[in-house]
Structure 1
Amino acid sequence: MPTVHLVEAPSNLGLKELIPGTAPAVDQLPAWLKQWGFHEALQPQLVRTVPPPPYTGQLDPESGVRNADAVAQYSQQLAACIAELVQPGAFTIVVGGDCSILLGAMLGLKAVGTYGLFFLDGHTDYAWPGLSASGGAAGMDLALVTGRGPAKLTTLGGQRPYVRPEHAWSVGNRDMDEDYVAAITASPIPYVDLAELRRQGLRATAAAFLEYVSARQLDGFWIHLDVDVLDNALMPAVDSPQPDGLTYAELAELLVPLLQSPLAAGLDITILDPSLDPGGKITRDFVAGLQPLFTVLTA
């Protein structure tokens, strides 16, 4: 059983306001998950919180990214925390927040070794200001961590990329806009959309990724879980809902083999918006759906 660390990263810096004048509510997610039993089920040995700078939503004229300076500052703070916690026999879960917290996770891993990334998301997030409709870093995070985008966010601490593109697998996309998909298929990133994931099999995809990591002698890997990869009927409390998506059974089939690997360094969870789940039912079901993952980490 690994030593489980929990890092609360309540950042909404990477998102555009859904309601003008109202900051996105994903910064409430750590407290919201705790309220509905996530922390109790996970039983972490250590809990840390990395508070973010204030949200403004302003578009940075230099980079074309909202809150760019704040995202850069926060990513480096989060990276320092991650670099300290990632160690043999430990597993770190980072609860966001929005997907821009991935920058801090991968920058922190870069400081301690060469890591892969299993990027599980209903979108590719392989975009940059010229391709993004929102200007939010949360929709550009895979591009940014693999070195594509403005230097203000891709070269933090003089490092670039935080994970090599060929070491970052994009899995689960179901936004099939032609230009959007063309961007990632033209990149070195291994890409498995939702239809292909189901065609080749979830366990087979997990096994292929683990074999890939081992063959390249990586020090380990990180898992990014944007909850919008789940079926919209199960997880509508997200900022960019789409039809279809994974069931909780499929999610477990895919992630349990990865969590069982000694090379699994950690996992981040993003985008569940408490303001879109006022009664808590969606979140309760989410915590229950993660039980197979908790079992691996706490057994």
Structure 2
Amino acid sequence: MPNCAPGACRSCLAGDHCLGIGSITAVARHCREQGRTLRVLWLDAHSDFNTSEVTPSGNVHGMPVACLCGLGPQALTELGGSAPALRPEQVRQIGIRSVDPDEKRLIKQHRIDVYDMRYIDEMGMKRTMEAALDGLDADTHLHVSFDVDFLDPSIAPGVGTTVPGGPNYREAQLVMEMIADSGRMASLDIVELNPVLDHRNLTAELAVDLVESLFGKSTLMRD
């Protein structure tokens, strides 16, 4: 993990969600060295828990969470040593609405906490985020892995793999503000923004707004 000033948030901006394999492996190693607990919030339309054996597409960007949990090619699962970077119970997935059949089986087998859009529709985003953030304390390093296709394509068309039915603007703002309010975010990925597919920078400008909220900018009239 690169050396940063104490309290600084390490941020990575990249093309696809393969980035998460490297960034979260580094964060996990850093947490082990510091004796801290790691929690990962995976904001995405896709669960990214395919493996090379079950993937229908062959796309590595559909495999990062599985690789981080030790499922997949050795070259990817052992970037940080022989042990998996993550245990499944360290992951919270939010906004999921596209899962392949064998991927779903693996998710259930490994008991990944998934707050899919059905859950969000039924429980509301506030209760969803309260559940996802539950248990954080001063010793927790919170890593947020934000795939822009987490958002509904009506407000964020500039991604390569749009999936209808995602969070709207206010829901997304609430997610970011509640993460900021926790005071625990220590590292961040921002991935999958594709300017070629964007409409007049609509998605890029929205992503900037949301990241500003992650760092504490509030849209609310509160102290």
TM-score by length of 1: 0.65
Q: Verify the 8 A CA contact 1:260 1:296 in the aligned structure 2.
A: no
Match of 1:239 in 2: 160
Which runs of 5 or more residues in structure 2 are unaligned? 32-36
| Fraction of identical pairs, as percent | 29
Describe the shift of the 1:282–1:107 C-alpha distance in structure 2 as closer, same or farther (beyond 3 A): closer
1:159 is displaced (CA, Å) by 4.3
Paired residue secondary structure (1:158): coil
From the CA coordinates, give the structure whose radius of gyration is larger: 1
Match of 1:261 in 2: 182
Describe the shift of the 1:245–1:107 C-alpha distance in structure 2 as closer, same or farther (beyond 3 A): same
- Matched AA of 2:85: Y
Residue 150 of structure 2 is aligned to residue 229 of structure 1: yes
Describe the shift of the 1:116–1:289 C-alpha distance in structure 2 as closer, same or farther (beyond 3 A): closer
1:132 is displaced (CA, Å) by 1.7
Describe the shift of the 1:158–1:296 C-alpha distance in structure 2 as closer, same or farther (beyond 3 A): same
1:179 is displaced (CA, Å) by 3.3
1:96 is displaced (CA, Å) by 1.1
- Matched AA of 1:189: I
RMSD: 2.4
Residue 205 of structure 2 is aligned to residue 284 of structure 1: yes
Residue 191 of structure 2 is aligned to residue 270 of structure 1: yes
Equivalent of 2:130 in 189, 200, 207: 207
1:188 is displaced (CA, Å) by 2.4
Match of 1:188 in 2: 111
- Kindly provide the CA deviation profile for residues 203-260 of structure 1, in whole angstroms up to 9, marking residues without a partner as x: 222222222334xx85311011111111111122222222211112101112211122
Match of 2:21 in 1: 103
Describe the shift of the 1:213–1:146 C-alpha distance in structure 2 as closer, same or farther (beyond 3 A): farther
Residue 15 of structure 2 is aligned to residue 92 of structure 1: no
Q: Verify the 8 A CA contact 2:176 2:213 in the aligned structure 1.
A: no
TM-score by length of 2: 0.85
Describe the shift of the 1:116–1:285 C-alpha distance in structure 2 as closer, same or farther (beyond 3 A): closer
1:147 is displaced (CA, Å) by 1.4
Q: Verify the 8 A CA contact 1:115 1:221 in the aligned structure 2.
A: yes
CA distance, structure 1, for counterparts of residue 50 and residue 140 of structure 2: 27
Higher relative contact order (CA 8 A, sep 6+): 2
- Matched AA of 2:126: R
CA distance, structure 2, for counterparts of residue 281 and residue 210 of structure 1: 29
Stretch moving more, 179-188 or 252-261 = 179-188
Q: Verify the 8 A CA contact 1:145 1:163 in the aligned structure 2.
A: yes
Residue 91 of structure 2 is aligned to residue 168 of structure 1: yes
Describe the shift of the 1:128–1:232 C-alpha distance in structure 2 as closer, same or farther (beyond 3 A): same
Describe the shift of the 1:243–1:100 C-alpha distance in structure 2 as closer, same or farther (beyond 3 A): same
Describe the shift of the 1:98–1:233 C-alpha distance in structure 2 as closer, same or farther (beyond 3 A): same
